[in-house]
Structure 1
Amino acid sequence: MQCLQGVGMEVKQFFLRFVAVIIVLSGLIACQTQKAVSHKEVAEDVEKKESDNPRIEFAYKLKNLLQQEKWEDALKLFDKLPPEEQEDLQIQNLKLSVLISANKIQDAEKLANLLEKENPENIDILFSQATLALATNNAKKRSEYLHKILKINPKNIVALTEQGYDLYSMRNYAKAKKVFLKALQEEPKHTGALLGLGQINYIENNLANAEKNYELILEKEPQNVMAMAELARIKSETNRMLEALNDMEKVVSLDAKNAEYWIDLGVYCSQAGRKERANEAFKKAVALDPQSYFAYIYLAGINDSLGNKEEAIKYYKKVIELYPKYYFAYESLGVLLFEKKDWNGAGRAFIEALSYAPQNCYYALMISLCYHKINNPVKAKEFMQKYIRTIDRTKNATEYFLCRLFVDMFGETDVYNRIMKEKMIEKRKRMMFYLGAFHEITGNRNIAEKYYLEVYSMQIPSFFEYRLAEANLALKKK
């Protein structure tokens, strides 16, 4: 989900700094244009005046290059200014902001320190220092500079808002909320403060207030995609899925290059049963961000749901490639390969899953089943003999004896009685699948089917054994 924390928070704050450059430029253009016009008794064409004034021409060129993110070309523009213009504080501040946007941190720090020494209370310079601290992950330095700004001007709305975001990213929600509220006292419809406050209200489950925060933003800025996306999330969680879908479709039409928005749209479409559209949305997300393992998880899941098993297998493998520690991808891959009767592939997948979650006895049981499927009962027994040594028998007695069943290959009645004493229904049903598998291995297909039916009767496919039981029953019908 699109949210204002972690890396997303840093990007947002960096973006705010970039916007500040454009704002300063716009002010520079307006100021210089006004001077050009006021110096003439007769107002001439503004365009001509712009071309007559080198600073206005510079500002327009710089603004155009920044909007295209042509950082190097933008920096070269400063060298073309006359020496006296290059030394101007406003121009120096602009150059500093461009250096930060271009990620030339060392050059930016050098210039910022020099400018601060000469102008210790210049708020633009102090903001640049705070932004540099953010870029170098120096939270202490950033906090100090924001405090300096607020000491000079306690009502500085930008400093208050960024301070609120910093507190939010540190999960100090109570203090962040106070800061955002203070900012809103100065400017009741400040977009940044309303976004931050809305996020905190959401976290506190105060959805009604969060919704009001985002609606206030949209009153002022009807096409603010961040507010629209957050509002869609609230609607999706308050039984207004159609509204949420419509909002997210609008969001991606306004900002088609944001992978996270496409993921949100895909999730909502999936929840609403619009699986084909969800598939399209997730594909768009991975096209925009090929390194997003998160998007591939959703893409694999929706293709599995659509019956595109080979596609799902391909995408789960991509998840593993991008983020091997996400062991649930090994689990899902193992299940798909097991259904495909690729016993070796399934076994390898569950071995990997077990390496990340060694306490998950169900992975171990699946590995044992895979060995039996390739007619290697000796390997199945050897593997399980080693695994049961890792189980705490006093705390997990049922798990221990269920796994031991695949070593001794007898004692199923005792295991069944133990399973039936388990309080959690889901746990009982999961374990019954392995009793069914045991009887299938030992040639008692009718008894196996009885256990598979027990698993299937739960009708809540929240664990992978359910679908394997369902597949076994479907195979019997054929």
Structure 2
Amino acid sequence: MNLKKIMAIFLAFGIAALSVFPADVSVVENPIAPSESDSPAVAFVRKLDAALQTGSVEQALSLFSGMPASLQGDLDLKKLHASLMISAELYGDAKALVSELESKLPNDVEVKEMKMVLAKAEGNSGAKSAALKEIIALDPNNSYANTELAQEQVLKHKYKPAKNYYLKALKGDSKNLDALFGYGQTSYYLNEISAARTAFKKMLEIDPQNAVAYSYIGKIYAEDENYKMAEENVLKAIALDDSNYDFYMDLGTYQRFRGKFKDAEKAWTNAIKINPEYFLAYAYRAGLYDEQNLYDKALEDYRMVVKTNPKYYFAYESLGMLAWRIENYDEAREAFEKAYSYNKTNVSYPLMIAACYYKANKAHLVKPFLAKALKDFTDRNSLDYLMLRLYHDFGPMNAENQIVQKIQQEENKTKKGKMTFYLALYDEIKGRNESSKKLYSEVASLQSPMFFEFRLAEWKVK
């Protein structure tokens, strides 16, 4: 907010001009110290200037209680006072003063902006919307209001209208960093990469120390699979802000694509240090460990994933597999139960749950469980239903033969491989070791398998 009259007052007394916006105090070098010969008004302005230059909102606010009578009616000083109150989160006092200002300056855009900020701080969406409409009516390309309208659209994932609001904001102020970032980000989301790149480079021209701009330029390089340049740019971002979780997540991703697995592990470990309560870095690092056959470490990380985000259902399948690998059948079953709760149509999960019961010497729990699970599979001639029925009944031989025949006739390679695995597992539970080994070997020899049971078969034959 430019307080023109205050600038004029400061300049008239030979004092540096200032500009104030809610929650932001501009700092100007070399304040002029108060002099004993100053009038009360000049002394007040000098003290206020000095307080603002130190960035001390509280000190600046305290001066208003002793403001000379000759300045108490000055509306620009009142606007400054209200702005400082908003910065200090003194919303009640600020609201009263803004209301007074609005009655005297009904068409003042700066007052409307403060009114909007207060409504937003109070969570009053209706008042905020009304204030935004008033601002736009007075100043259609108002940078602050259009940026706020754009951000509302971003929250709704409506990136095209958001981008258009950001463009209006930039018409009002081409150097508005929030609007530039928003325009770049929404362009990136809309796959308008050239526009996004231009916006982020413009940000760096205005603010060479802008870490977020470097991070997005890194993302843009990654879109072209130029992970070397992506890594270089996100490292620049980290050099400017080494406490940003997302920067380390991106860094690890680029390094992983470059085959720098130790570096990727370190990057995601740094992210975990920044926020150990967030799940994503554990999930990424778990996948990295899993790929490198560091199964114990992967298992620990998947445990942390579901601990920090129990709704992240993608992790339960991997957790179940790795727990199964170390014969922790109760943990494996609980993980597959969670996976099953999110996907009732995947026959793998009830079959693995049943197998876990058998392996944990809890066979008496299989029938009650599968009796319920069978209700989700209505085609009684399907391989899914017949395999579930086989695990439920634990036979008989004619049912086994029927399944063997159906597997041999199955044309879908994924379905055939998956059902061969469960037939192998059934034989293993039955104690038919030679038959199960042969079937596991068949599964493990498949090319480009698309089902998780393949890995269980691989572990079995190694």
Q: Do both proteins adopt the same fold according to a TM-score greater than 0.5, normalized to the shorter chain?
A: yes
Equivalenced residues, count: 437
Query: Is structure 2 residue 231 aligned with structure 1 residue 245?
Result: yes
In the alignment, what sits opposite 2:143?
Answer: 157
SS in 1 for 2:230: helix
1:197 paired residue among 183, 187, 190 = 183
1:156 deviation in Å? 2.0
Asked whether the equivalents of residues 278 and 309 of structure 2 are also in contact (C-alpha less than 8 Å), the reply is no
1:36 deviation in Å? 3.6
1:275 paired residue among 257, 261, 264 = 261
TM-superposition CA deviations, 1:257-283 (whole Å, max 9, x none): 111211121222223222222222222
- The TM-score normalised by the length of structure 2 is 0.81
In the alignment, what sits opposite 1:124?
Answer: 110
Query: Is structure 2 residue 55 aligned with structure 1 residue 78?
Result: no
In the alignment, what sits opposite 1:263?
Answer: 249
Query: Is structure 2 residue 399 aligned with structure 1 residue 405?
Result: no
SS in 2 for 1:381: helix
In the alignment, what sits opposite 2:32?
Answer: 49
TM-superposition CA deviations, 1:26-75 (whole Å, max 9, x none): x9997666444279xxxxxx846245454454455456456xxxxxxx44
Distance 2:52 2:326 in 1: 59
1:455 deviation in Å? 3.7
In the alignment, what sits opposite 1:434?
Answer: 422
In the alignment, what sits opposite 2:38?
Answer: none
SS in 2 for 1:325: coil
1:314 paired residue among 287, 300, 310 = 300
Quote the RMSD (CA, aligned, Å).
3.4
Query: Is structure 2 residue 458 aligned with structure 1 residue 470?
Result: yes
In the alignment, what sits opposite 1:10?
Answer: none
2:280 paired residue among 294, 305, 330 = 294
1:365 deviation in Å? 1.5
Asked whether the equivalents of residues 142 and 168 of structure 2 are also in contact (C-alpha less than 8 Å), the reply is no
Paired letter, 1:78: L
- The TM-score normalised by the length of structure 1 is 0.79
In the alignment, what sits opposite 1:37?
Answer: 14
TM-superposition CA deviations, 1:213-268 (whole Å, max 9, x none): 32333344333222221221121121211111111111111111111211121222
Percentage of matched positions with identical amino acids: 31
Change (3 A) 1:47 1:222: closer
Change (3 A) 1:62 1:293: farther
1:326 deviation in Å? 1.8
Change (3 A) 1:168 1:355: closer
1:307 deviation in Å? 4.5
Larger Cα-atom Rg = 2
Query: Is structure 2 residue 432 aligned with structure 1 residue 444?
Result: yes
TM-superposition CA deviations, 1:314-340 (whole Å, max 9, x none): 333333233222222333222221112
Asked whether the equivalents of residues 334 and 345 of structure 1 are also in contact (C-alpha less than 8 Å), the reply is yes
1:406-425 aligned at under 5 Å gives the runs 406-410=391-395, 411-418=399-406, 425=413
Question: Which stretch shows the higher mean deviation, 99-108 or 282-291?
Answer: 99-108
1:103 deviation in Å? 5.1
Gaps of 5+ in 2: 17-28, 36-42
Asked whether the equivalents of residues 327 and 357 of structure 1 are also in contact (C-alpha less than 8 Å), the reply is no
1:102 deviation in Å? 5.2
Asked whether the equivalents of residues 149 and 159 of structure 1 are also in contact (C-alpha less than 8 Å), the reply is yes
1:384-403 aligned at under 5 Å gives the runs 384-393=370-379, 397-403=382-388
Distance 1:458 1:89 in 2: 80
SS in 2 for 1:468: helix
